[in-house]
Amino acid sequence: MPTPTVVLVHGAFADASSFAALVPELFAAGLDVRVPAVPNRSLVGDAAYIASVVSHIDGPVLLVGHSYGGAVITVAGTADNVVGLVYLAGYALEEGESLGELQGGFPDSPLAEALVYTPFPQAGGEDGTDVSVDVARFPEIFAADVDPDLARILAVSQRPLAGAAFGEAAPAAAWKTKPAWGIVSSSDHTINPDVERFGYQRAGMTTVEIDSSHLVMLAHPKEVAEVIRTAIETIGA
């Protein structure tokens, strides 16, 4: 099998730049990489968009999803040319399960009290609600072990998630039919690490724990790249 193209899928409150430290590590390993911008408007819609990106890539694809991006690849990963999934401090939903349902089974993280809700216009309908993180609290909650100057930049350049996405049920769970790996950020203050562990264990994933903030791929890019390389080597074996 040809070496898969690695497609990195960012999560809520972040954008493609959250992979800036990881991409050079993957390039150094000789891997082809794509980092699309996720709309962050709805789980089903975002997954359909990522699936469309994947469909235009010749050959196999390894989907890597961070945080909410884990929920996105759970659905988008059913695409025929996706050969594996890697979750980075991510949500591994069950078919028919929403983000709110999975997260609701565990104590809240510090994120819950730092969320900001802002209306945004929607064509032909009522306003939607954007969810973001309080700018002042973003560094401690999202990026505690990232360079403080960079964390401040990330705080003011968030890509919000539409609130409706939290209640949407996943119409599919690709980990049921595709091999999957999961990284738990054990010092995560954005997602309760037990939410990550539960989803990964339920899916029967190979799991690695890294003592990291939520932005594990910025704080520990070499370790994350190693998990991705292991996944590719295992798939090709």
Tens-digit pLDDT profile for residues 79-126: 999 999 999 999 999 999 999 999 999 999 999 999 999 999 988 889
CA distance 163 to 148: 28
* Composition of the chain by helix, strand, coil, percent to 5: 40, 20, 40
pTM for the model stands at 0.97
With bands split at pLDDT 50, 70 and 90, how would you rate the model's confidence at 237?
low
Q: What is the mean pLDDT of residues 201-212?
A: 97
Domain count, the chain: 1
Tens-digit pLDDT profile for residues 207-233: 999 999 999 999 999 999 999 999 999
In degrees, rounded to 5, the angle at the alpha carbon of residue 195 between the alpha carbons of residues 87 and 218 is 45
Tens-digit pLDDT profile for residues 46-90: 999 999 999 999 999 999 999 999 999 999 999 999 999 999 999
64 lies in which domain range? Answer: 5-236
CA distance 165 to 106: 19
pLDDT for res 192: 97
Domain at 196, CATH number: 3.40.50.1820
Strands 161-162 and 128-133: antiparallel
